[in-house]
Structure 1
Amino acid sequence: MKQKCDVMYLSAVRCGPGGTLLAGQIALQRGLACSTAGGTHHAFPSHGSGFCLLNDLAVTAKHLISEPTPKRKILIVDLDVHQGDGTAFIFKDEPSVFTFSVHCQRNFPLRKQQSDLDVSLEDGTEDREYLSRVQEHLPWLLESFRPDLVLYDSGVDPHWDDELGKLRLTDEGLYRRDLYVLHTVVKSGIPVATVIGGGYSRDIDRLARRHSIIHRAALKVWREHGL
């Protein structure tokens, strides 16, 4: 039984990066796509970390920028409550990929890496302050970097009820955050692919509903923009 569980787990680990890559490819064709997994942003090139074995965001970005034509630039918007340290490390010397992370300062990982832009938040940050920090940076990043694709890690662990979070966002706050990011990116004429990112709760049904927030926001943006 243990061997069977190990095989199933490793299969799921491999499928995550594949799903993110597929979402990225579809987004480039249609403008917006969502994966139901992903956000394993703590994995490094040589080792896993923080429940993450393979970094799906890095695998996807590496693949898409390595295609011969057209040469692409990718912006990774990481709004998980934890800094995307593995992603930051992997792309620290890659000018075609810009890493933007908004995270709780006093949270995992203890030793942060240097993203292209890090925004550190204090414990207990609530909806309004959180969204204002995202709004402060996302528009000028899109304008100045001009990515060909945005990979959006829409972690739900900034939620007030998350067991590993330390921030104080509500369901409505997460929805407004996701709606703002997707609307702003799509309005700029830039394709966006989303992954679900972190979320930690013993109530699996409640956590699943929380993870569905990004898909509800994406459906609204899809309809409003006629994608």
Structure 2
Amino acid sequence: MIKIAYHPIYAHPLPEGHRFPMLKYELIPQQLLHEGTITKENLFEPEPTSKENILAVHDAAYWLQLKDLQLPAKEQRRIGFPLNARLVEREIRIAQGTIAGALWAKKHKIAFNVAGGTHHAGSYWGEGFCLLNDQAIAAQYLLDHGIAKRILIVDLDVHQGNGTAQIFENEDRVFTFSMHGEKNFPFRKEKSSLDIALADGVSDQEYLQILKKTLPELIQAHQPDFVFYLSGVDVLASDKLGKLALSIDACKERDRVVFENCQKHHLPVQVSMGGGYSEDIKVIVNAHCNTFRTAFDLFT
């Protein structure tokens, strides 16, 4: 069975007027249940993760400011959301959902988090709607507990995974791969193990050709025993913030390429959703649901 982390707080941590970016997190599981791709047995509600897990990758002073809701106004603006207790709780539940998903995937090949992919959060900062870096926290957990020895993080969100790159910049056991828009946010990039910066308007064919060549080479070179996949759908041509030109079919094929490479090399994979900002919420939800549909086709 494929397990999927979801909690109602994913969609409702903010006051009225700020909820649209969060709406997809409620609609994704609703759609998957409605169409019969999943049942309620696939879903689990994560608990808050521990302070120890957070401090394994995040600076103690930064975490204390978050926890006590004392983050300076300038830093709150950098995050993009007004800080409140439910937003912090949301992030620590997302982090535990990704840890739990990774543990499930280690035994059962694959697991999902309906939210997550908070890759702009660095060790001592939050940014771009990200407070705590869920996949970094989970990757460090696997390393610290001897569950994985070499990890590959495949970040295919349209924005560079700058926080993830910074957190693991001196960690040889984690290879960070980010394929993103060159001229897109964040405008100050960090250095991933491998960055592929794409020009605006990259087409389906070019994007998929690069991915199909690069990913097998990385697996061969790094020899990971675990993969984290950030499957942002802001690569779509319809995305307000994306600047690339992928069709929804190409986005789905991208997911298939990642999953088939994981299958071929017997690599467990944890998947977090990342960004998606098309004008039509139905497009966002359908593109994210395609990631689940593709995995269920391949892994069940």
Q: Which residue of 1 aligns with 2:219?
A: 142
Q: Is the 8 A contact 1:162 1:200 kept in 2?
A: yes
Alpha-carbon distance in 2 for matches of 1:80, 1:215: 16
Give the TM-score of the pair, scaled to structure 1.
0.93
Are 1:80 and 2:154 an aligned pair?
no
Alpha-carbon distance in 2 for matches of 1:119, 1:183: 21
TM-superposed CA distance for 1:10, in Å, is: 2.4
| 1:98-152, Cα deviation, whole Å (9 max, x unpaired) | 0001001000011111100011110000111001111121101111211110000
| 1:195-220, Cα deviation, whole Å (9 max, x unpaired) | 11111134333322221111011111
Matched position secondary structure for 2:170: coil
Q: Is the 8 A contact 2:112 2:271 kept in 1?
A: yes
Tell me which of the two structures has the higher relative contact order, counting C-alpha pairs closer than 8 angstroms and 6 or more residues apart. Answer: 1
Q: Which residue of 2 aligns with 1:112?
A: 189
Larger radius of gyration: 2
Are 1:221 and 2:298 an aligned pair?
yes
Q: Which runs of 5+ in 1 are unaligned?
A: none
Alpha-carbon distance in 2 for matches of 1:27, 1:71: 12
1:65 is aligned, of 143, 148, 151, to 143
**Identity percentage over the alignment?**
42
TM-superposed CA distance for 1:190, in Å, is: 1.0
Matched position secondary structure for 2:218: helix
Q: Which residue of 1 aligns with 2:117?
A: 39
Q: Which residue of 2 aligns with 1:90?
A: 167
Alpha-carbon distance in 2 for matches of 1:206, 1:140: 32
1:15 is aligned, of 71, 83, 93, to 93
Matched position secondary structure for 2:125: coil
The one-letter amino acid paired with 1:218 is: A
Are 1:122 and 2:199 an aligned pair?
yes
Q: Which residue of 1 aligns with 2:265?
A: 188
Alpha-carbon distance in 2 for matches of 1:70, 1:96: 13
Tell me how large the CA RMSD over aligned residues is.
Answer: 1.5
Q: Which runs of 5+ in 2 are unaligned?
A: 1-12, 16-83
TM-superposed CA distance for 1:47, in Å, is: 1.3
Alpha-carbon distance in 1 for matches of 2:261, 2:185: 29
Number of equivalenced pairs: 220
TM-superposed CA distance for 1:70, in Å, is: 4.7
2:103 is aligned, of 4, 17, 25, to 25
1:206 is aligned, of 253, 277, 283, to 283
